A and B are shown apart, each in its own frame.
Chain A
């Protein structure tokens, strides 16, 4: 079993929903970012999504765009992001890490080299926003062969006809995007999300977590109640962006985690 599969098995055993937290690697700088990352498991985070900064994040709203710009300005690179994973892994062998970002930095490094390093340093999954199933031979198939989950996004525009294609090479979990839009924009509506998650679950056994537009502990609870877990990104990144201390950020994260876990 992989770390991600193990984590969902434990959660199921305890009758708990997953809380997934997103942060941008290297934001506002490497040291602060690593300090926050190391504090996430104790704050109740079940799975960490670590953003790879990119100059042109086409699916992200202003909050995450600015986080990427701060990280790049502070000297973050894909190598430094992998270094962060290694530094985290030196102290935590169990919390799954999913790298999330866009394809070009990975393509630029070379897919094979990237996967070798990622696997060796303890990356468990990848979410690459601009690689739909139509481009599976680019990274998805090689990642699966390397033993790294390729986690796909399903969206409100993914209809029943298309869903099997989206699910085909997905493993670990499926990330349902609660809205049509960019990160940090509209609020997720649990009543609208519930039937969509149910629809997806008719097609797959893997856990379905929901993200985009979840900003409060209450929203995390509402969403987690109708899915296998909730993801929060922009709301956390916003606090990092306005200069909150790592303690303050982690305290906010703890509240969100409690929200999701109370579902």
Chain B
């Protein structure tokens, strides 16, 4: 897939699961037959109208799709530039975009006769979505979550347990999302015959990056139709937050060949993207490597050892990123920038005050970039940002960062 011969940005991955040099299937032999089986099942389902009919029905009646595309009028006025629209995926059942993908994978798991579902989770949103759909279908659910994240996302841990899932705190490494993914892979390799691994982002071995993207693309498909209806034209810019990158890929994908639309992914800059490495900006501060089944940009040291990221947002706290983003970065089709904890917190507060929407810390990063970009653009320009999750889960983290004790006010 060389860039010169491209007449579309939307045809990847190739038959080896690669986007340029990124992606692939870097897994142990035990998992290889399963991954090939999953790929075959997904290829079948993709063109099976009954599969999509089931998805559409659940998206509509269970998740509440389509999510609105909302014109943020007061925010637009405050910023004084481009018109800002929010794709309201925080209104989905379970409060984030994660469920779009989980539904697809669980329906696939059922078609494959798998009875036990495992997942990794960082902020807990993917874990909650997986526990939710497993409860709906009566499937056994085990969620791996870093010990550190279990502590900082306690409400989501309780939600998962209410929904009947077993939450396993992961103590290996530093106990964050990367370590949870390692332990989920270890579980999968041990329980290959009855277990389906429901990955929460556009990373992992092929076919996961493509499959998760396809399920999340409902965001971009809806947004494209909605903005055409509202404004009669395509937006000038898309903005979305990037951890692993699934909400962003979902918004971006249906616009990849609309080359007049600027695409911007926003990474978690933590305390600043510099050599202290206290950030999670793998595309702006990392380099290519191989982890968790795919080649992509990673935070790593000189010896190729993986570094722990840092971000105020547990959902962005991952040292890698989906391989399709790595490829979009190298080809220049998408731009990637970073936003610090402090900027994200300011955006969080502005969104609460001007729009009456409490955003999750993840889309607060996207919003922080909108705050930079919108004032620089003329008033007839249009930005669509992905409001991919709601912030109820984050109020304790935000209170702490702002020095407020929520118990005493």
* A interface residue numbers (CB < 8 A to B): 53-62, 65, 72, 77-79, 102-109, 129-135, 152-159, 162, 166, 177, 180-182, 185
The distance in angstroms between the C-alpha atoms of A53 and B178, with both chains bound, is 17
Asked whether B291 is an interface residue with its Cβ less than 8 Å from the other chain, the reply is yes
Task: Given A134-B25, A135-B24, A182-B186, check contact A54 B305 (CB 8 Å).
Answer: yes
- Which listed segment binds A: B28-36, B102-110, B222-230? B28-36
* Cβ–Cβ contact A62 & B289, under 8 A: no
The distance in angstroms between the C-alpha atoms of A123 and B204, with both chains bound, is 31
**Interface residue ranges of B24-46 to A (CB < 8 Å):** 24-34
The distance in angstroms between the C-alpha atoms of A166 and B186, with both chains bound, is 21
* Cβ–Cβ contact B289 & A104, under 8 A: yes
The 14 sampled A-B contact pairs (Cβ below 8 Å) are: A55-B305, A60-B186, A61-B186, A103-B26, A104-B291, A107-B304, A108-B300, A154-B29, A157-B29, A157-B32, A158-B29, A180-B30, A182-B186, A182-B190
3 closest pairs, A vs B, by CB?
Answer: A108-B304, A105-B304, A181-B190
B31 partner residues in chain A, CB cutoff 8 A: 157
The distance in angstroms between the C-alpha atoms of A185 and B193, with both chains bound, is 17
Extra contacts besides A58-B182, A107-B295 (20): CB < 8 Å: A56-B178, A58-B189, A60-B186, A72-B305, A77-B303, A104-B306, A106-B304, A108-B289, A108-B300, A129-B28, A134-B32, A152-B29, A153-B30, A155-B28, A157-B31, A158-B33, A162-B32, A177-B30, A180-B193, A182-B186
Write the chain B residue with the least CB distance to A107.
B290
Q: Which of A60, A61, A104, A133 has the most C-beta atoms of chain B within 10 angstroms of its own C-beta?
A: A104
Query: Which of A58, A105, A159, A185 is B185 in contact with, Cβ under 8 Å?
Result: A58
* Cβ–Cβ contact A104 & B190, under 8 A: no
A182 partner residues in chain B, CB cutoff 8 A: 186, 189-190
The distance in angstroms between the C-alpha atoms of A65 and B293, with both chains bound, is 18
A152 partner residues in chain B, CB cutoff 8 A: 29
A77 partner residues in chain B, CB cutoff 8 A: 303
The distance in angstroms between the C-alpha atoms of A129 and B291, with both chains bound, is 12
A61 partner residues in chain B, CB cutoff 8 A: 186
Chain A min CB distance to B40 (Å):
13
* Cβ–Cβ contact B303 & A105, under 8 A: yes
* Cβ–Cβ contact A78 & B304, under 8 A: yes
* Cβ–Cβ contact A104 & B304, under 8 A: yes
The binding surface of chain A is classed by DSSP as loop
Q: Which of B178, B189, B300, B302 has the most C-beta atoms of chain A within 10 angstroms of its own C-beta?
A: B189
Chain B min CB distance to A162 (Å):
6
Asked whether B192 is an interface residue with its Cβ less than 8 Å from the other chain, the reply is yes
Chain A min CB distance to B207 (Å):
12
Chain A min CB distance to B129 (Å):
24
Chain B min CB distance to A167 (Å):
12
* Cβ–Cβ contact B29 & A180, under 8 A: no
Asked whether B329 is an interface residue with its Cβ less than 8 Å from the other chain, the reply is no
Total A-B pairs in contact (CB under 8 Å)? 116
Give per-residue flags for B278-294: 1 if the beta carbon is below 8 A from chain A beta carbons, else 0.
Answer: 00000000000111110
The distance in angstroms between the C-alpha atoms of A103 and B182, with both chains bound, is 15
* Cβ–Cβ contact B189 & A180, under 8 A: yes
The distance in angstroms between the C-alpha atoms of A6 and B173, with both chains bound, is 40
* Cβ–Cβ contact A132 & B27, under 8 A: yes
B276 partner residues in chain A, CB cutoff 8 A: none
* Cβ–Cβ contact A130 & B290, under 8 A: yes
Write the chain B residue with the least CB distance to A165.
B32
Asked whether B354 is an interface residue with its Cβ less than 8 Å from the other chain, the reply is no
Chain B min CB distance to A58 (Å):
5
A54 partner residues in chain B, CB cutoff 8 A: 304-305
* Cβ–Cβ contact A56 & B26, under 8 A: no
B178 partner residues in chain A, CB cutoff 8 A: 56
Asked whether B172 is an interface residue with its Cβ less than 8 Å from the other chain, the reply is yes
Write the chain B residue with the least CB distance to A109.
B304
The distance in angstroms between the C-alpha atoms of A135 and B292, with both chains bound, is 14
B25 partner residues in chain A, CB cutoff 8 A: 132, 134-135
Task: Given A56-B173, A132-B29, check contact A180 B190 (CB 8 Å).
Answer: yes
Chain A min CB distance to B397 (Å):
26
Chain A min CB distance to B127 (Å):
19
* Cβ–Cβ contact B290 & A153, under 8 A: no
The distance in angstroms between the C-alpha atoms of A109 and B30, with both chains bound, is 27
Q: Which of A58, A78, A108 has the most C-beta atoms of chain B within 10 angstroms of its own C-beta?
A: A58
Task: Given A130-B28, A132-B25, A157-B33, check contact A58 B304 (CB 8 Å).
Answer: no
Asked whether B136 is an interface residue with its Cβ less than 8 Å from the other chain, the reply is no
Query: Which of A102, A104, A133, A166 is B300 in contact with, Cβ under 8 Å?
Result: A104
* Cβ–Cβ contact A65 & B172, under 8 A: yes
**Interface residue ranges of B190-211 to A (CB < 8 Å):** 190-193
The distance in angstroms between the C-alpha atoms of A59 and B303, with both chains bound, is 20
Asked whether B400 is an interface residue with its Cβ less than 8 Å from the other chain, the reply is no
B61 partner residues in chain A, CB cutoff 8 A: none
Chain B min CB distance to A100 (Å):
12
**Interface residue ranges of B8-35 to A (CB < 8 Å):** 16, 24-34
A158 partner residues in chain B, CB cutoff 8 A: 29, 32-33
Chain B min CB distance to A51 (Å):
14
B190 partner residues in chain A, CB cutoff 8 A: 180-182, 185
* Cβ–Cβ contact A130 & B30, under 8 A: no
The distance in angstroms between the C-alpha atoms of A162 and B29, with both chains bound, is 10
Chain A min CB distance to B381 (Å):
42
